[in-house]
């Protein structure tokens, strides 16, 4: 493996652990057997973090995860917190049990500086009016508790894996079918006047039957002239 390819693989590992587990591995932890790569790897990590701050807003993921800072999983009124599912640019995601309806839902604790907060109430009203969430390929957003501390986005829970983790193992015909369903769902949203703004493999889940479920429509805006620069580079 060339030096450039090895650096690329090490940086990919850093990003994966950061996105999926909220960890920030040190260059020494990433490549203990190659001290000659440390300076270059350190520069790559700094460049990645600078881009992350630019496109994700200020103070990205500052401080420890909520359950680490409080010593326990967070609680949400009317729900029992089962486990923490992950951490991304918009906030932390938890698996909950609805104590009244007995269903399982997902909750995203939205950072106060996240672009998800901007116009989210308006988006949810518009999306429901336009019946966007009736499409089975789009994860339903159930409720946005914007006045809670911290703000919480409650949505349908999907059992499965992100497309960026599973996509490489799919056969060609399976990939083609998944892509067709994704593009049809996005086309329907566009006909309704809503754009996703952050469509990427990490925001697409595949369920147990390999059906795509599109996440994070919260960055959407109905005005095609607004919202540029949100989401992921």
Question: Catalytic one among 198, 207, 216, 223?
Answer: 198
Counted residue by residue, the chain has a size of 233
Q: Which residues of 219-230 are buried (b: 16+ CB within 10 A; e: fewer)?
A: bbbbeeeebeeb
Peptide bond into 186 cis (omega under 30): no
- Nearest-angstrom CA–CA distance, 70 and 92: 14
| DSSP 8-class letter at 78 | T
Mapped onto helix, strand or coil, the DSSP state of residue 34 is coil
Q: Which helix (H) or strand (E) holds 215?
A: none
- Nearest-angstrom CA–CA distance, 170 and 70: 40
**Terminal alpha carbon distance of the chain:** 27
User: Is 59 among the residues known to form the active site?
Assistant: no
Q: Which residues of 93-118 are buried (b: 16+ CB within 10 A; e: fewer)?
A: bbbbebeeeeeebbbbbbbeebbbbe
Active site residues: 198
């Amino acid at each position: 493996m060339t030096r450039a390819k090895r650096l690329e693989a090490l940086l990919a590992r850093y990003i994966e652990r950061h996105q999926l587990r909220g960890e920030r591995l040190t260059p020494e932890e990433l490549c203990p057997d190659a001290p000659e790569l440390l300076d270059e790897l350190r520069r790559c990590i700094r460049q990645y973090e600078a881009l992350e701050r630019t496109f994700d807003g200020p103070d990205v993921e500052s401080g420890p995860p909520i359950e680490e800072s409080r010593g326990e999983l967070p609680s949400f009124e009317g729900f029992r917190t089962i486990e923490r599912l992950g951490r991304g640019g918009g906030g932390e995601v938890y698996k909950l049990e609805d104590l009244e309806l007995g269903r399982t839902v997902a909750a995203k604790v939205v950072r106060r500086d996240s672009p998800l907060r901007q116009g989210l109430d308006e988006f949810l009203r518009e999306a429901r009016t336009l019946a966007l969430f009736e499409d089975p390929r789009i994860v339903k957003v159930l409720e946005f508790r914007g006045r809670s501390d911290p703000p919480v986005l409650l949505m349908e829970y999907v059992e499965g894996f992100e497309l960026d983790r599973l996509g490489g193992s799919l056969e060609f015909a399976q990939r083609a079918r998944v892509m067709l369903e994704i593009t049809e769902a996005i086309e329907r949203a566009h006909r309704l006047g809503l754009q996703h703004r952050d469509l990427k493999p990490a925001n697409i889940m595949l369920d147990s039957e390999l059906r795509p479920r599109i996440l994070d429509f919260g960055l959407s805006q109905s005005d095609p002239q607004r919202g540029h620069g949100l989401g992921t580079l």
